[in-house]
Amino acid sequence: MAARLLRLCRSLRAAGPRPFSAQASPLQTEQHGTKRPEPSSAKSLTDIGTRRIFSSDHDIFRESARKFFQEEVLPFHTEWEKDGQVSRELWEKAGQQGLLGVAIAEKHGGIGADILSSAVVWEEQMYVNCTGPGFSLHSDIVMPYIANYGSEEQIKHFIPEMVAGKCIGAIAMTEPGAGSDLQGIRTYAKKDGSDWILNGSKVFITNGWMSDVVIVVAVTNREARSPAHGISLFLVENGTKGFIKGRKLNKIGLKAQDTAELFFEDVRLPASALLGKENKGFYYLMAELPQERLLIADMALASCEFMFEETRNYVKQRKAFGKTIAHLQTVQHKLAEMKTQICVGRVFMDNCLQLHADKRLDSSTASMAKYWSSDLQNNIATQCVQLHGGWGYMWEYPIAKAFVDARVQPIYGGTNEIMKELIARDIVSDK
């Protein structure tokens, strides 16, 4: 892990960990050759120190992240659900803790760790069942576009502030008439001298209400031979004339996550607002979407692990017919089935994480992970609510929140039906 991240975690242990980077394999950095237990044989599916893809350095970072989410997020999440957003103070605390821009290169102002360290943050957020903070989208969807395709000026302007939690990022793809079909977008940017004039609207934008900078996907060439050849990306800052934030959307789940409509009415943007090259936006999106789908998949699996442990604890305490319901064979078999499904999913998910760390994760495999894990998440949520009985339907029970939060997972990031299309296309292709 980069020196910057180590400094943030070192206070957790007297002996500092050995550094590792995005180039180092965690399988090679494990100290003393110790064999890490698999989740299936660990005391809990959320235990620290399990899973072969991680090292002891990742464990130290996980301890730090777990402490942060338990102390700085969990106690306040109910209030944030009422507000429809988390606090700005939380973002800055996350920046101070080194939880933002974890996998962004240190030369760009990021933490400089590997993608497995980012996965630690994704998972620890799900282990406290708090979906409000949009850290993962900010750090591992928005920031990579700027770091990978931005100019030196754009990187210097945005990345350090985003890592500090002082500049919140969002990406605006979805429109009222265009969701999974990105080629159907209507938001249009027209050249006016060296400037661009942006018009259009976006919907379902995570971090949209609190955003300080938004990557806007827009058509820039209506005469292109296909829509994919005429799409560009723009960096639009909050406060820009004509950039209007609509209402925070009232969702059935993800209550503390600010999701908004965005409107662009004759927004004049300088040439420097163009992110990357003109008309190359669709290709940038295709290159970055596998990481977005991996992120959704890993958070889905982590949610499954949380829900299982929450339900295991509940059935061991809940009494019926003179004994805890954990003594009922039908409950025991259901727990056995769920744990097996989750552990099987975790093996595939960890394989995908390692492939991505090695820069070998392809779009089809990422699509498999996203569709299968989010479907499993909804299946596990339904079974866990059932095992909670009537209490599982009560909002104050964590399992109820996990249940409604799970429902959007097969929808965003490309619907699971689209994921199957992408997988099938790869199967039947002659190439």
What are the structure tokens assigned to 52, written together?
A: 């072969």
Of the candidates 406, 298, 305, which has an alpha carbon nearest to the alpha carbon of residue 356? Answer: 298
419: CB partners within 8 A, 6+ apart:
293, 367, 368, 370, 371
CA distance 373 to 376: 5
What are the structure tokens assigned to 321, written together?
A: 């017919």
In order of 8, 25, 131, 306, 365, the CA distances from 347 in angstroms are: 30, 18, 24, 16, 14
H/E segment holding residue 90: helix 88-96
Catalytic residue among 30, 81, 124, 292: 292
Helix (H/G/I), strand (E/B), else coil: 170: strand
By the 10 Å C-beta count (0-12 exposed, 13-18 middle, 19+ buried), 222 is classed as exposed
Q: Using CA atoms in the order 51, 55, 60, 64, what is the torsion angle rounded to 10 degrees?
A: -50
What are the structure tokens assigned to 390, written together?
A: 């009537």
CA distance 129 to 143: 24
CA distance 179 to 203: 9
Of the candidates 174, 164, 178, which has an alpha carbon nearest to the alpha carbon of residue 292? Answer: 174
CA distance 28 to 26: 5
What does R_g of the chain's alpha carbons equal in angstroms? Answer: 22
Of the candidates 343, 338, 284, 299, which has an alpha carbon nearest to the alpha carbon of residue 134? Answer: 299
The number of CA neighbours under 13 Å toward the Cβ of 48 is 16
Q: Is 292 in the active site?
A: yes
Instruction: Characterize 109-134 residue by residue with b for buried, 16 or more Cβ atoms within 10 angstroms of its Cβ, and e for exposed.
Output: bbbbbbbbbbbbbbbbbbbbbbbbbb
From start to end of 56-136, where are the E strands? none
Angle at the Cα of 156 from the Cα atoms of 150 and 160, rounded to 5 degrees: 110
373: CB partners within 8 A, 6+ apart:
296, 297, 298, 300, 301, 304, 345, 349
Mind telling me the catalytic residues? 292
